[in-house]
Amino acid sequence: MILKKFALLLIIVILVIANISLASSNENKNITVMSRNLYIGTDLEPMINSRNQTELVEAINTVFTEFQATDFPTRAKALANEIATKQPDLIGLQEVIIIRSQYPSDLSPMPNATTIELDFLATLLNELTMHGQDYEAVAVTTGFDVEVPALLPDGSCCKDFRLTDREVILARKQTNLSNIRGENFDNNLIVPFLDRNFTILYGWASVDVEVKGESFRFVTTHLEPNFYDVRAAQANEILQGPANTSLPVVLVCDCNSNANGTGTYGNLITAGFVDVWNQTNPGDPGFTCCQDGNLLNNASNLSERIDLVLFQGGFKAIYSDIVGANNSDRILSPSGQNLWPSDHAGIVARLSFKKQKDIDINITGVPVVGKSTKKILAADYRNFTAGDPYNITIIRISNSMEVFTENGILTGGLKQTIPIGWKPHDKGDYLVVAKGDTISVSKKVMVIDSIVVPPVPELSSIIFISIGLLGLFGLVRKKR
């Protein structure tokens, strides 16, 4: 009989432990994000800097030759493998090019070619499907769009090629999304291009995301690479635009600003963003830029960190890693060239939603003059981080005099109870105040000099968001 009871008790304990473990798993509210510059595959400057039509045609042939050699369809396999390995929930993509053509050329200054030659987005999504990954493009913002004529292989003229840049957000299918937005920047670099001006147009895309009851905004952008004033103005548009929200924000970007605390990066940090890499990899440079334009360099040339995952409000950084930066990440093309996946490395980060901090003061009896209150007064600190301070103060209401104080450091976790070992000297009404970071909770308690007095009903909490009491005027009011 005893053995049966013991076995039953053991089963109950195991079930309770299993339920606790399952509950902890279900309460896990992490989000994994990625920033990845796909690389256009060539340098457009020779084309943009052409002084006449002859130079333009020559530059186009040079640019197109390198574009073919950097072979995005092959590189997309390596990029899809990165994503399949890291399993991000949301991905911000930059330089998501689409190439379209038309023949014969109409030499129109306005982009109008419609025949798709290569679509980076469709190619990558197809490779992700081949890797068993179920992603979809949920936000697309079109950037610069240029069309130029190129000579045919026999040297005759001409076939138009149209190159269009895009910012894209990928999300796993079934992700709960809303408020999908995207805009071009008002501030962009304008350069002379033959007989007209050409705007190197960039922008941003954003989406609001709900994960297990928690909401935040995810933003991706590509900032101007060469001119600080334009780049800084674009970053300010992010701060005044999609990042100007009461929601927590995750910003992923090719920010084109070295993460050394200055420039545009410094402006974003000053505005309240937190750098995940610095939080999770202190002292590690985490370089993300840049390999040679032809992607053939044997040793990595990465020497700057300009691809970033930043957040503000509501999150704690858990982990981050650089992808596509090691020699083993290169991929062999059909032509026998060993290519880097991109001229940039990517960054993956895992964030956890911060649990709402809370304090409750428990009064389980009536304090008596001269006796310790340790068994009847306690403060429960919930969801505090290890190392956070706590302070418990008791104030006599009749004269606002502090009669007890205790300070310490919390170990963190779901709940930590601090017993209050106060020995009152006089009967009367007192205010018990428990503080932690920016939250403060107060409760009124009556001290008696005889145990025969009936217990006083527990009164309402008084919560102060700012540190310290806002004033005692006889009445105790609930405040948040």
In the chain, what are the helix, strand and coil shares in percent, each to the nearest 5? 20, 40, 40
Confidence band for 124, pLDDT divided at 50, 70 and 90: very high
Nearest alpha carbon to residue 165 among 127, 217, 111:
111
Q: How large is the average pLDDT for residues 214-228?
A: 96
With beta carbons less than 8 A apart as the criterion, state whether 200 and 144 touch.
yes
pLDDT, tens digit, for every residue of 394-428? 999 999 999 999 999 998 777 899 999 999 999 99
With beta carbons less than 8 A apart as the criterion, state whether 65 and 31 touch.
no
Strand partners, 159: 150
Strand partners, 323: 346
Least confident among 136-145, 182-191, 443-452, 466-475? 466-475
Q: Is 337 left (phi over 0), alpha (psi -120 to 50) or beta?
A: beta
- Share of residues in the chain with pLDDT > 90 (%): 68
**Residue 385 clears pLDDT 90, i.e. is over it:** no
Q: How large is the average pLDDT for residues 19-23?
A: 35
Contacts of 259 (CB under 8 A, 6+ apart): 265, 275, 277, 278, 286, 305, 306, 308
Strand positions, DSSP E, 265-330: 274-275, 307-312, 315-323
**Residue 169 clears pLDDT 70, i.e. is over it:** yes
Reduced to 3 states, what is the DSSP secondary structure of residue 9? helix
What's the confidence (pLDDT) of residue 192? 85
Q: How large is the average pLDDT for residues 189-203?
A: 88
Q: How large is the average pLDDT for residues 193-213?
A: 91
Handedness of CA 347, 350, 356, 358 (dihedral sign): negative
Length of the chain: 480
The tokens describing 369, both together, are 């003059």
pLDDT, tens digit, for every residue of 51-71? 777 777 788 888 888 999 999
Measured distance CA(11)–CA(28) in Å, rounded:
26
**Residue 467 clears pLDDT 70, i.e. is over it:** no
Nearest alpha carbon to residue 205 among 139, 124, 288:
139
Least confident among 15-19, 141-145, 159-163? 15-19
**Residue 462 clears pLDDT 50, i.e. is over it:** no
Confidence band for 28, pLDDT divided at 50, 70 and 90: low
| Average pLDDT value over all residues in the chain | 87
Note the CATH number of domain 28-353.
3.60.10.10
What's the confidence (pLDDT) of residue 249? 96
Q: How large is the average pLDDT for residues 306-323?
A: 94
Nearest alpha carbon to residue 30 among 415, 316, 407, 273:
316
Domain 358-464 coded CATH 3.40.50.460: no
Same fold, 28-353 and 358-464: no
What's the confidence (pLDDT) of residue 451? 54
Q: How large is the average pLDDT for residues 159-164?
A: 92
DSSP H or E stretch at residue 86: helix 72-86
What's the confidence (pLDDT) of residue 474? 36
Nearest 10 degrees: Cα torsion 56, 58, 61, 64: -50
What's the confidence (pLDDT) of residue 228? 96
What's the confidence (pLDDT) of residue 313? 86
Measured distance CA(220)–CA(93) in Å, rounded:
7
* Ordered DSSP codes for 64-82: HHHHHHT-HHHHHHHHHHH
Nearest 10 degrees: Cα torsion 170, 171, 172, 178: -150
Bigger pLDDT: 96 or 107?
Answer: 96
Strand partners, 368: 448
**Residue 27 clears pLDDT 80, i.e. is over it:** no
What's the confidence (pLDDT) of residue 25? 33
Bigger pLDDT: 9 or 378?
Answer: 378
Residue 375 amino acid letter: K
Confidence band for 45, pLDDT divided at 50, 70 and 90: confident
Q: How large is the average pLDDT for residues 249-274?
A: 95
> Domain boundaries in the chain?
28-353, 358-464
Q: CA-CA distances (angstroms) from residue 309 to 34, 231, 345, 431?
A: 8, 17, 13, 45
pTM: predicted TM-score of the whole model, two decimal places: 0.73
